[in-house]
Structures are given as C-alpha cells and as structure tokens.
Amino acid sequence: MDFNIPLDEWTANKNLKKFIKDKIDLCKPKNVYLCSGTKEEYDELMNQMVIDGKAIKLNDQKRPNSYFFKSDPEDVARVEERTFICSEKEIDAGPTNNWHNPNEMKIKLLNLFDGSMQGRTMYVIPFSMGPIGSDKSHIGIEITDSAYVVCNMHIMTRMGKKVIDHLKDEDFIECMHSVGKPLQENEKDTLWPCDPENRYIVHFPEEKSIWSYGSGYGGNALLGKKCFALRIASTMAKKDGWLAEHMLILGITNPEGEKKYFVAAFPSACGKTNMAMLNPSLPGWKIECIGDDIAWMKISEDGRLWAINPEAGFFGVAPGTSYDTNYNAMKSLEKNSIFTNVALTQDNDVWWEGMTKNEPENMINWLGKKHSKEEKAAHPNARFTSPAHQCPIIDKDFENPKGVPISAIIFGGRRDDVVPLVYEAFDWQHGTFLGASVSSQMTAAAKGNIGKLRHDPFAMLPFCGYNMADYFDHWLGFDKKMTSKNLPKIFYVNWFLKDENQKGFIWPGFSDNIRVLKWMFERVDNKVGFKKTAIGNIPNIEDLNVDGLNLSKNTLEKLLEIDLDKWEKEVLELKNYFSIFKDKLPEGIIDQLNKLNERVLKEKSKRCEPSYKE
C-alpha cells in the first residue's frame, strides 16, 4: 500500500495503527494519505480539486483563498431518516431515534464499506474536539475518501500532526466515512461522488464508533460535529456526568465592564448563529462569541459549570446572512472559507438569497445553471465553512482549555403566539422542564406544514444519542452535582411573536435582543425585578429597556402577555407530546407538567372570581 509518509513515522499508537490497517483491508483504497494539518496540505488538496473540476477558486481580490463547491442535488442536507443509533437495546435509543440491531447493522456496513474506496485515496484525519490538551476535549480519527471532508475538517476542528503528537496512548473515537462510490479501472470520477440511495449515518454508542456511508455533505460527513460532538458525546456525558449540548456560547459585558457567559439552545431556523454573534443596539453593551452550535459543559473544582466550544469553525446556513442580519458572520467568511451550494456571480464571488437587497446580474445558480428570477439562486441549506478566529468578536477565551463559566442557560423556539418574549424558570427542575418543552413552528415550505408545531426538546431531537427520556433524567439530576449558588439561571425566549392578524413580527429581534439579554444579565445578579406568573417569572414592563424602539404600550403588553386559555391548551399539547416516552418519562417532568397545569387553573379561577369592588 502506498502511503504519503510511513505509518510508523506518523504514529506509534498501536490502536491507531491497527485501526488504519484494518480499514485499508476493508475499504481497499488506491493509496493512503495521513494528514499533517498544515496549510500546504490544505492548499494542495484544494488545488487538486480545482484541477479535477470539483471546486472553483473564487476571485482572490474579492474573497481570498476561498472555494466554491456544488453538491449532487440529491445530497444537500442531513438525512435524519437514514440516521441510526445502534445501541444493544432498542429502549436505549428511545422513541425519537431510529434504532437498528448493532450486529445486523455492522454486517450491512461491512458489506457497504468492503472495497468502497477502490480507486480512491483514503485520508486519515486525527482531530481534537476542543482545544488540544483541554481536560474537556476528546480526540477522534476520521477515515474518509473525500478531500472535501479533509478541507472542511481543517477549518472545523483542530487537526493533524499536533493531535497525533498529543494522542500518545489515549483513546480516540473511530469515525469511518465513505462517499460510497468506488471507482473501477479507468472510470472517471463524478464532481460530487455520493450514493444517495444507500446513505447510512450510523452510531454505535457502546463502542463509541461512527460509520457514515453514501453522503459527502456537512453533518453527514464531517463526523466531528453532529455525530461525535453531539450524538456520541451526549452518551459519554450521560455516563460521566457532564453535558454535551446543541448550544451557542456567548460572552456578554455590561457598560460597567462586568462579564458573564450564557449558553442558548434553539431549534433550526431561529437564528442561533445570529444570536451567537449579536451586534447589540444598547450603548455600552458588548457580545463576544465562543461558539454558534455546540457546547460541552463540565463541573469544575470550583463547583461551577464551565463550557468549551468543541469546534474551531462555523458551518453556517448562508441564505439570510447579510451585513445587516449578521455583520460578524459576514466578516468571518470574507476569506479562507469554503462555500457549498451557494450561487456564483459573474466576477467569481458568491451570493445567496438575503445577502443583498438586489440580486447581482448573470449568476450561475447552485445547480450550475444560468440563474433565473423564478428559482432560488442558492440552495436554502447552502453553507459557509469559516474559521472561528476570523470572527471579529471571537472571545479571548475561545481557545482557553478551561472554558468559560456559565451563568445562564437560554431555551427558545419560534412561536407566533402563546409563548411570551422572555420568562425565567422558578428553579432548575422547572428549567429542565422548559428545555424538554422546546417547540418551534416550522418555516420549511417543503411539505406544506408551514406553521405546524414541531417539538424539539433541548433542540436535541436529531442529536441525542440515547433515550431522550433518560436525557431528561440526566438534566433533572444535574443540580445535585452543584451547589445552588453556582446553578445557572434558566430562561425561555421567543423572538417571533406576531400581531393579532398574524401579519408582522411585533419584536424587532436581532440587535435589539440585547434588551432581553440585559434583563437576564441583571436577573443573574438579582439586580432587577420580575413578575411571577403561572408559567414563570417575566420582566416588569418598566424593567425591560425599550428606549428608542417605538413600541406601543399595547405591543409591549402583548410581548409579555400570558393568555391562560391558550396555556391550558399548551399543557394538553405538551402532555400529548410527552406520552411518546411512555413509562420512561421521568417523574420530575410529569411533576412539572402537573404543577404548570395547577398554576394555570389557579390563575384562571382568580380571574373568574366575581369582583366586589363596585
């Protein structure tokens, strides 16, 4: 077998050498490339993909060192229906995951991977999720036959020789990936090889391995992200008493220079990346970004919860991103970035819906055809891959192996009614219930279900590697590991309320969300008041800074309204949803649901009592 450097020179780790040799025997590649992680390696791989026609180098004046890829039109997003959790027992995958018998699945995968890399290079990528050497970091080895994956991993993770040097005899997570398109002798490669009919994204939580076949796209192929840092890590976290969460991490500094860190979990299409890089509208307030997608949190010796971002880059949805909606993301992707399924302008730059008010003329759309106004220029799930350190507001502790101490946890969803702008949980148990209750109205036009409610507990529905009911239990018990003074406060937000006629949004959102963050910040220090309601604590109207917003009193009341009739229905909706967990649903969740119901009914009865004043 032809190696770029001798295996023994690259690593002395016996397990790693065995892993590589076994996979060579299985996948039968043409040659093997052991990644160094250097810039030269990145440039060489990109150059070759440009020569092969798989990538286009963008205009170096406009977008230095950046590349455009278009995928196979069948391979444009994560495939949840092809994603499996192969725990030994079906009950350990739970009702929200696809389970498959691990032995049967292994046989199926071994068949698929047998010879799957014929005629191709097998790349070996050592990567660290989290700063190298942090006690919160974990190492993975991804074997892949896609150079696109290698280049994306260069941006999204700390990878290469430095990880090997650190690995020594440590354990690593085995990540197997193949696009599933072996090449026969003299067969010409396609521009985006994949096998859409046979996609499998498979997790073996007990042996902590990942096998991904048939897709080259994002979350299906960059295995450090959703597969490892969420699905496998969540099972590790449950076992070892920490949290692996689908959360952004931000730093917030008030005008007095006091700083706190918050994490936040939102379902898709709620603007998580925008929130992570918020450009605040209130003078003197500052937001800094630690991460936009994943938080790993552990309790330190000081008894506080500390978070790291296991990733090193952003893999963000491009459409809707503009200098207006997310200035800092736009700055992050000005150079050294990879763009997938965006549109190409006539001067070889990128464009997507929502980037500018007016469309540039003469674009090539994401399918490689001349763009016409009737169609989308970029695919709605088009992505940018950009280094986190290019974000103008990246936090100084982004690389800190200790992480940052967390003061508040925010949940949220997109609801045009019922859920107020912001409320605070009474305590940790109630806060856990809020996380379990996360739901969002759908915006995807695809299946004619616009506006339908989708429950997405903790925004982890597609990312929890074990039974979601056990996950609730893990959260419910987490407060016992910390002293109460160290427990983060928990909040729920909704930026998406609409007016009576369901026409416009009544909260300006974006930069003005700092006003809500300010209230939370001051709640953490108990420096501002609240009003107790049936569902939680809301701001007193005078405690929310709305200076210069031009909101009517009526609108402000609507933003903080708790409609008890609607909440009575909400309780039923939640009860109905939680029934999928059957007898696995923890007492703590049932208890919180009952208490919510009682509080709502009690408030209602107060309202109905005849008034004897006059």
* Tokens, residue 144: 């892949």
* Residue with token string 């200790």: 402
Neighbours of 410 (CB within 10 A): 25
Selection from ligand TSX, Mn ion, none that 115 binds (CB < 5 to 8 A by kind) is none
Q: Identify the CA nearest to 363 among candidates 386, 382, 335.
A: 382
Binding test (CB under 5 A) with Mn ion, winner from 145, 293, 399, 424: 293
Binding test (CB under 6 A) with ligand TSX, winner from 25, 107, 171, 505: 505
- Answer for the pair 275, 325: CB distance below 8 angstroms, yes or no: no
Neighbours of 547 (CB within 10 A): 9
What is the rounded distance in angstroms from the CA atom of residue 387 to the CA atom of residue 536?
39
Give Cβ neighbours of residue 572 (< 8 Å, ≥ 6 apart).
none
Nearest residue to ligand TSX, by Cβ distance, number only: 271
Query: Does 495 participate in binding ligand TSX (rule CB under 6 A)?
Result: yes
H/E run at residue 48: helix 39-51
Indicate the residue among 119 and 320 with the shorter CB distance to ligand TSX: 320
Active site residue 270: yes
Neighbours of 576 (CB within 10 A): 10
Query: Does 75 participate in binding Mn ion (rule CB under 5 A)?
Result: no
How many residues bind ligand TSX (CB under 6 A)? The answer is: 13
Smallest distance from ligand TSX to CB 518, Å: 14
Give residue 29's identity as a one-letter amino acid code.
P
Indicate the residue among 193 and 412 with the shorter CB distance to Mn ion: 412
Binding test (CB under 6 A) with ligand TSX, winner from 274, 390, 407, 432: 274
Binding test (CB under 6 A) with ligand TSX, winner from 126, 224, 271, 431: 271
Selection from Mn ion, ligand TSX, none that 293 binds (CB < 5 to 8 A by kind) is Mn ion
Selection from ligand TSX, Mn ion, none that 508 binds (CB < 5 to 8 A by kind) is ligand TSX
Q: Which of residues 317-356 bind ligand TSX (CB under 6 A)?
A: 320
Indicate the residue among 274 and 336 with the shorter CB distance to ligand TSX: 274
Query: Which one from 270, 289, 391, 464 is the annotated catalytic residue?
Result: 270
Query: Does 275 participate in binding ligand TSX (rule CB under 6 A)?
Result: yes
Transcribe 63-87 into DSSP letters: STT-EEE---TT--S--GGGEEE--
What is the rounded distance in angstroms from the CA atom of residue 116 to the CA atom of residue 145?
9
Candidate ranges 15-23, 271-279, 386-394, 561-569; the one touching ligand TSX (CB under 6 A): 271-279
What is the rounded distance in angstroms from the CA atom of residue 395 to the CA atom of residue 367?
37
Query: Does 392 participate in binding ligand TSX (rule CB under 6 A)?
Result: no
Show the binding pattern over residues 51-70: x = contacts Mn ion (CB under 5 A), - = does not: --------------------
Smallest distance from Mn ion to CB 271, Å: 12
Give Cβ neighbours of residue 393 (< 8 Å, ≥ 6 apart).
277, 286, 287, 288, 289, 328
* Tokens, residue 371: 């763009």
Q: Identify the CA nearest to 196 among candidates 77, 98, 341, 27.
A: 77
Binding site for Mn ion (CB under 5 A): 293
Annotated catalytic residues are: 270
Binding site for ligand TSX (CB under 6 A): 269, 271, 274-275, 278, 320, 495-496, 505, 508-510, 513
